[in-house]
Amino acid sequence: MNIVLLGAPGAGKGTQAEKLVDKYALCHISTGDILRQAVKDQTPLGIEAKGYMDSGNLVPDELIIGLMKERMQQPDTEKGVMLDGFPRTTAQAVALDAMLSDLGRPLNAALLVDVPFEVIIGRLTSRRQCRACGKIGSVADAACPNCGGEMYQRDDDNEETVRNRLDVYANQTAPLIDYYKGQDKLVTVDGNRTPDVVFEDVVAKLGIA
């Protein structure tokens, strides 16, 4: 099974991705996590990407598409992928279709986690992430609920950058909803509920997708 996750930043894509990957033993690919690791390691990719990320803009398509072409050729993707944060533009979606068709693999569904914008702003500015294991939590978590590691606020989760990321989402990524509707692959779940309830719905809907 190969799935694309769609939704605004903060819609809960990462949380649902984790649960899906556990249940269906998929390979989880988060372009945001790959980029943040590259920034931390100060690789050429990271150095180039950092400015875009800190301002809430998208990293150029060529960079991301090149990165994903390589990533999709790793053997661990054969068991099926859960793509989280890619594609984010129509050009990326077209490139993904070409990659999958070259590999002879189908795209089973594009899963949209739908959450109103007002809810998103509150969620993102209170969001925290574990430095050690990447677990997503909130400002209420003194330490990581998973491993006890230090929780920190991402550089791009301040209010100004959050607003820009939402604009970028509305302008560049939201059109993918129609793109996948046109391919008859869109599956929508209401993401404004607790993660477990959202997940039940996801499983039920993917079962018939």
Contact positions vs ligand ADP (CB under 6 A): 9-10, 31-32, 35, 52-53, 56-59, 64, 85-86, 88, 92, 156, 165
Q: Is residue 146 close enough to count as binding Zn ion by CB under 5 A? A: yes
E strand map for the chain: 3-6, 27-30, 81-84, 109-114, 127-130, 136-138, 151-152, 186-190
User: Is 15 or 108 the residue whose CB approaches Zn ion more closely?
Assistant: 15
Going by their DSSP bridges, the two strands 27-30 and 136-138 should be labelled as: unpaired
Instruction: Choose among ligand ADP, Zn ion, none what residue 144 binds, the Cβ cut-off being 5 to 8 Å by kind.
Output: Zn ion
- The single-letter DSSP state of residue 57 is P
Give catalytic residue positions: 13, 88, 127, 154, 165
User: Which positions ≥6 away from 193 have C-beta within 8 Å?
Assistant: 201
Q: Which is nearer to ligand ADP, 102 or 167 (CB)?
A: 167
Selection from ligand ADP, Zn ion, none that 50 binds (CB < 5 to 8 A by kind) is: none
Q: Which two tokens stand for residue 71?
A: 């990533």
Q: Could you say which of ligand ADP, Zn ion, none residue 201 binds, taking C-beta under 5 to 8 angstroms by partner kind?
A: none
Burial-class residue 51 by CB neighbours within 10 Å (0-12, 13-18, 19+). Answer: exposed
Partner in contact with 18, chosen from ligand ADP, Zn ion, none, beta carbon below 5 to 8 Å by kind: none
CB of 122 to ligand ADP, least distance (A): 14
Structure tokens at 144: 């990581």
- Distance, CA of 111 to CA of 119 (rounded, Å): 19
Q: Which of residues 14-73 bind Zn ion (CB under 5 A)?
A: none
Identify which of residues 22 and 62 has a Cβ nearer to ligand ADP in the complex: 62
How far apart are the C-alpha atoms of 74 and 18, rounded to whole Å?
Answer: 20
Considering only residues 116 through 135, tell me which ones interact with Zn ion, judged by CB under 5 A. Answer: 130, 132-133, 135
Site residues, Zn ion (CB under 5 A): 130, 132-133, 135, 144, 146-147, 149
